[in-house]
């Protein structure tokens, strides 16, 4: 174990030497992650702090290990059903559609979105932007090649998200998964079909900076299971940032067990599992 003062020194070093500001992370989850990094590297907090000051590659690695990278294809199918039936239909009239995946990890939801857009005939006019703090996951996301073993348990999500209409359960929808994904079970790969690749723009970006990484306004921002690692001050700041960067009728999609607390909660309308930007 270590003292609060030691943690502050570590946070300061990550900021001074790498420009990563963890001071508004939820202290509890930051400590948990640091404990794991210390355990995996067989280090104490003093050695770790010194090592990141000397070795910038190691610092980058520590930042990657502190941040969490869980994602799934069509995670929480009910959310994707709402996007399909309640959000996308409103975007048909628009000339272009801008979508930002903030904290995209290895991009499984980026490709999930592309599949929905393609099914809706909207992919051509969509611009898909995706960011993460971790350059390794962005590389995997860009390549669109995943482990079949780790993805296969989520294939049921695909079926529910694409083939079930919750507003008309009798409707028969058939969208074979092979239309979008190539499997190679012996090689343990699941590859996104080439026509979906190089559609999204992936970019390294730290949400804490508060900047808009692409200088456009978005119709939809997805930031799922990212803010749970931040304290309420930072959460509120990001709800403010997202509000600024959304179009007037834009929507924000959070993790299914996240909610908007604090002052910014009055600036969004909760519509089922998504948040609609409110102007007044």
Stretches 4-12, 67-75, 190-198, 245-253: which one binds other proteins (CB under 8 A)? 67-75
| Residues from 28 through 47 that contact other proteins (CB under 8 A) | 28-29, 32-33
Residue 269 interacting with other proteins (CB under 8 A): no
Count of residues touching other proteins (by CB under 8 A) = 22
Residue 136 interacting with other proteins (CB under 8 A): no
Residue 185 interacting with other proteins (CB under 8 A): no
85 vs 214, beta carbon nearer other proteins: 85
Identify whether the C-beta of residue 165 lies closer than 8 Å to the C-beta of residue 77: no
Binds other proteins (CB under 8 A): choice among 59, 76, 133, 202: 76
Stretches 140-148, 241-249, 253-261, 269-277: which one binds other proteins (CB under 8 A)? 253-261
Binds other proteins (CB under 8 A): choice among 22, 148, 158, 229: 229
Residues lying near other proteins in the complex (CB under 8 A): 26, 28-29, 32-33, 68, 70, 75-76, 78, 153, 156, 225, 228-229, 232, 255-259, 261
């Amino acid at each position: 174990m270590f003292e609060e003062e030691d943690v502050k020194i570590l946070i300061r070093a990550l900021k001074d030497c790498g420009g990563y500001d963890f001071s508004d992370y939820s202290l509890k989850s930051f400590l948990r992650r640091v404990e794991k990094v210390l355990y995996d590297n067989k280090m104490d907090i003093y050695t770790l702090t010194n090592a990141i000051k000397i070795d910038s590659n190691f610092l980058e690695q520590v930042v990657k290990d502190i941040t969490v990278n869980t994602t799934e294809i069509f995670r929480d199918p009910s959310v994707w059903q709402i996007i399909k039936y309640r959000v996308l239909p409103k975007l048909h009239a628009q000339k272009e559609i801008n979508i930002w995946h903030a904290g995209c990890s290895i991009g499984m939801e980026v490709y999930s979105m592309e599949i929905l857009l393609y099914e809706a005939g909207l992919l051509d006019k969509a611009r898909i932007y995706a960011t993460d703090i971790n350059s390794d996951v962005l590389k995997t996301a860009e390549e669109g090649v995943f482990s079949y073993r780790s993805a296969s348990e989520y294939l049921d999500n695909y079926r529910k998200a694409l083939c079930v209409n919750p507003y008309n359960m009798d409707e028969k929808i058939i969208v074979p998964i092979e239309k979008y994904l190539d499997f190679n079970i012996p090689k343990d790969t699941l590859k996104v079909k080439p026509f979906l690749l190089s559609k999204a723009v992936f970019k390294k970006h730290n949400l804490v900076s508060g900047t808009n990484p692409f200088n456009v306004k978005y119709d939809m921002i997805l930031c799922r299971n990212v803010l749970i690692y931040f304290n309420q001050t930072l959460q509120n700041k990001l709800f403010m940032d997202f509000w600024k960067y959304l179009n007037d009728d834009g929507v924000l999609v959070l993790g299914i067990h996240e909610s908007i607390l604090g002052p910014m909660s009055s600036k969004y309308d909760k519509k089922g599992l998504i948040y609609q930007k409110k102007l007044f």
